[in-house]
């Protein structure tokens, strides 16, 4: 009955604090939203201030370009406009680009994009630009190339010959226009028309890194922390792939090899944190085995693909169809497992995650369909605009936003739960009347004391408490106890031991240093005298205290020492009573 009563006191004491914490949760959510918005604003004005989104361009008209595609089977396609050029492994494109007679800028670069092709640009048999021949000879992946080189002044009005030899297995759409750009602005071309997406996914990448580091460093341990780690890593990898896919790294890095390959490395790693997330989200053992199996298959696929690529046995792009199937399987199985696991008790976190995965998958399917249909000669021109919508960006943005929102819900829930536990723990070890440590706190710390060390015990008793309660009421008695606790608190240095209220009108203190004990005795006696002189209570203020020192190795427990100090305190109390009688 007594423990039940104490528990109810603790709960009632925390009611207001819990309400306050709910308010803190809302403020934290608002602060996070403000922080993300602020990051958007900083990136936007930063890119604007640096002129990153302002790129002057001159697009070479299709009428000035003639292309001949020699297929791997020897068949030739002639007369296709550049937007319909589609290359597969073994195909060779010979394009003839007539430059304008009047150069549009004082110094111009020609720029375009191509996947996994050996590139040679020449004029009158003089090679102006070449990339990928050494990599192709070693059967290494060429990657996502941003071709960007300066046109010599003597070539204006003349013809450039472009030869692309494709090494990617699946059809690659060469749908980027041949663009002339001022030399000093050419590096920023991938940002033209894409500054908003660059900012959005740049912020997402920063948030992913923050969530990952937050879970590892700040909130180590616990299921919620593990889930946050996986979501942070997944968000980072998704943004890494997106930056590579859109050639944004060419803006900030001069390492062509890294810029060309980063999206391939990311796409093989993306499923792993998702698998880890789902594995730790579900409780059913059978479903966890399914997810574990997927994780093992994906890890082996990635290791084998990387190893074969490094040895030149096979290029990463040749294993890409298998990886795309694996990603689809991972998302479908993840969606199924989360749906099955939350049918009966679906919370906001899981519902948001389901919506995000479903929408993300839908847009991914639309993007794949568009990529496959665009190269077809029979594809209606009237539908070109719809097919060229960036479904991948929309779906990825929805998925990442969902992941971040869901994770932040988990984080806030984790923070609130931890705060509640800390608050209850604090109340469990704190005396509700005086605010100093209670007997439970002292007992826990006493357990760490060994018989081999020196220590001293001080046992305190507030004089006249019963008289105060009987004659003036418990309010005066409580005030007397608070005044005694305040005296002990002001004179005790916690780095040299610990103290607390033992119960009723009794307090205890444990000293680990002899000099500190001497200092305390003097300071305590002095403050008791000062408090007695300034006492405003209707009863004299006085504290009786007894001390006992434990010698290292002495055959006595801490409780024995407390009893000895208690006996010494009663001797002091008897002496005070005898003195008053005299």
- Give one DSSP letter per residue of 354-380, joined into a string: HHHHHHHHHHHHHHHHHHHHTT-TTS-
What is the number of structural domains in the chain?
3
**Residues 391-413: what's their mean pLDDT?**
72
Q: What pLDDT is recorded for position 311?
A: 83
Same domain? 489 vs 569: yes
Residue 41 lies in a domain: yes
Instruction: Give pLDDT tens digits for 345-377.
Output: 455 555 666 666 667 767 766 766 766 666 565
In this structure, is residue 487 part of a structural domain? Answer: yes
CATH assignment at residue 527: 3.30.70.270
Domain boundary among 396, 426, 456: 426
Residue 215 has pLDDT above 70, yes or no: yes
Is 387 or 188 the better-scoring residue by pLDDT? 188
Q: What percentage of the chain carries pLDDT values higher than 90? A: 35
Reduced to 3 states (helix: H, G, I; strand: E, B; else coil), residue 515 is helix
Alpha-carbon Rg for the chain, nearest whole angstrom, is 38
Q: Which two tokens stand for residue 559?
A: 């409780």
pLDDT at residue number 409: 67
Whether 202 and 150 map to the same domain: the answer is no
Q: Where are the alpha helices (DSSP H) in 120-166?
A: 133-137
CB 275 within 8 A of CB 298: yes
Predicted structure pTM score: 0.66
**Is 336 a domain residue?**
no
Within 8 A by CB and 6+ apart from 352, the residues are 402, 405, 406, 409
Maximum CA extent, the chain? 126
Looking at the structure, tell me whether residues 380 and 255 fall in a common domain.
Answer: yes
List Cβ neighbours of 133 (8 Å cut-off, separation of 6 or more).
118, 120
Q: Which of 99, 396, 403, 482 has the alpha carbon at shortest distance from 232? A: 403
Report the distance separating Cα 425 and Cα 320, nearest Å: 53
The predicted structure's pLDDT at residue 510: 96
Statement to judge: residues 14 and 102 lie in one domain: no
Q: Which of 167-176, 224-233, 477-486 has the highest mean predicted lDDT (pLDDT)?
A: 477-486
pLDDT attached to residue 283: 75
Report yes or no: 395 and 372 within 8 Å, Cβ to Cβ.
no
Q: What is the pLDDT of residue 22?
A: 47
Whether residue 12 has pLDDT greater than 80: no
For residue 408, what are its two tokens? Answer: 């932040």
Residues 6+ apart with CB under 8 A from 310: none
Q: Domain check: are 62 and 208 in the same one?
A: no
- 200 and 250 inside one domain: yes
Q: Decide which of 151, 169, 190 is a domain's last residue.
A: 190
Boundary residue ending a domain (138, 172, 190): 190
- For 102, 227, 228, 354, the CA distances from 234, given in Å and listed in that order, are 49, 11, 10, 16
Length of the chain: 582
Residues 169 and 244 in one domain: no
Q: What is the CATH number of the domain that holds 147?
A: 2.60.120
Answer yes or no: do 75 and 161 share one domain: yes
Q: Quick one: tokens of 248?
A: 């944004």
Q: Which of 212, 213, 204 is nearest to 401 (CA)?
A: 204
pLDDT given for residue 3 in this prediction:
38
Could you read off the pLDDT of 417-463 as tens digits, one per residue?
Answer: 777 777 777 778 889 899 999 999 999 999 989 889 999 999 999 99
Q: Supply the range of the domain harboring residue 98.
A: 58-190
Strands lying side by side in the sheet with 455-462: 497-503, 506-511, 455-462, 543-550
**For residue 506, is it within any domain?**
yes
Q: Is the pLDDT of residue 517 over 90?
A: yes
How high is the pLDDT of residue 423? 77
């Amino acid at each position: 009955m007594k423990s039940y009563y104490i528990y109810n006191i603790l709960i009632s004491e925390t009611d207001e604090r819990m309400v306050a914490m709910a308010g803190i949760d809302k403020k934290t959510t608002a602060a996070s939203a403000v922080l993300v918005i602020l990051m958007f604003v900083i990136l936007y004005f930063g890119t604007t201030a640096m002129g990153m989104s302002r790129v002057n361009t001159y697009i070479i008209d299709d009428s000035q370009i003639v292309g001949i595609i020699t297929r791997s089977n020897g068949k030739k396609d002639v007369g296709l406009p550049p937007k319909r050029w589609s290359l597969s492994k073994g195909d060779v494109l010979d394009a003839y680009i007539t430059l304008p007679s009047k150069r549009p800028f004082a110094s111009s670069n020609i720029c375009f994009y191509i996947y996994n092709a050996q590139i040679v640009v020449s004029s009158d048999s003089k090679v102006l630009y070449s990339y990928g021949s050494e990599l192709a000879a070693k059967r290494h992946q060429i990657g996502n190339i941003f071709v960007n080189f300066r046109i010599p002044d003597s070539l204006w009005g003349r013809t450039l010959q472009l030869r692309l030899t494709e090494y990617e297995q699946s059809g690659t759409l060469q749908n980027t226009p041949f663009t002339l750009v001022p030399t000093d602005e050419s590096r920023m071309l991938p940002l033209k028309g894409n500054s908003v997406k660059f900012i959005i996914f740049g912020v997402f990448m920063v948030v992913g890194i923050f969530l990952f580091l937050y879970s590892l460093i700040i909130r180590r341990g616990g299921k919620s922390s593990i889930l946050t780690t996986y979501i942070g890593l997944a968000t980072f990898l998704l943004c890494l792939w997106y930056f590579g896919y859109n050639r944004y790294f060419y803006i900030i890095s001069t390492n062509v090899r890294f810029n060309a390959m980063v999206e391939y490395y990311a796409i093989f790693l993306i499923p792993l944190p998702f698998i880890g997330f789902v594995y730790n989200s579900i409780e059913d053992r059978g479903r966890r085995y399914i997810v574990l199996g997927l994780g093992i298959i994906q890890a082996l696929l990635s290791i084998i693909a990387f190893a074969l690529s490094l040895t030149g046995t096979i290029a990463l792009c040749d294993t890409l169809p298998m990886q795309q199937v694996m990603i689809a399987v991972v998302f479908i199985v993840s969606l199924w497992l989360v749906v099955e696991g939350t049918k009966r008790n679906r919370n906001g976190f899981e519902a948001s995650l389901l919506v995000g995965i479903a929408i993300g998958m839908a847009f991914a399917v639309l993007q794949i369909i568009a990529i496959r249909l665009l190269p077809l000669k029979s594809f209606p021109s009237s539908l070109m605009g719809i097919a060229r919508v960036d479904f991948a960006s929309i779906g990825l943005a929805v998925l990442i936003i969902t992941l971040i929102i869901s994770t932040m819900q988990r984080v806030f829930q984790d923070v609130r739960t931890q705060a509640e536990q800390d608050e209850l723990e604090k109340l469990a070890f704190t005396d509700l009347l005086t605010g100093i440590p209670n007997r439970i706190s002292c007992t826990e710390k006493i357990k760490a004391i060994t018989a081999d060390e020196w220590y001293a015990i001080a046992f305190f008793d507030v004089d006249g408490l019963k008289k105060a309660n009987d004659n003036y009421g418990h309010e005066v008695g409580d005030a007397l106890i608070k005044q005694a606790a305040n005296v002990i608190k002001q004179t005790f240095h916690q780095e040299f031991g610990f103290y607390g209220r033992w119960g009723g009108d009794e307090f205890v203190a444990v000293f680990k240093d002899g000099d500190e004990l001497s200092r305390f005795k003097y300071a305590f006696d002095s403050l008791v005298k000062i408090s007695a002189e300034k006492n405003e209570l209707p009863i004299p203020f006085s504290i009786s205290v007894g001390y006992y020192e434990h010698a290292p190795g002495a055959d006595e427990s801490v409780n024995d020492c407390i009893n000895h100090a208690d006996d010494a305190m009663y001797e002091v109390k008897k002496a005070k009573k005898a003195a008053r009688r005299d």
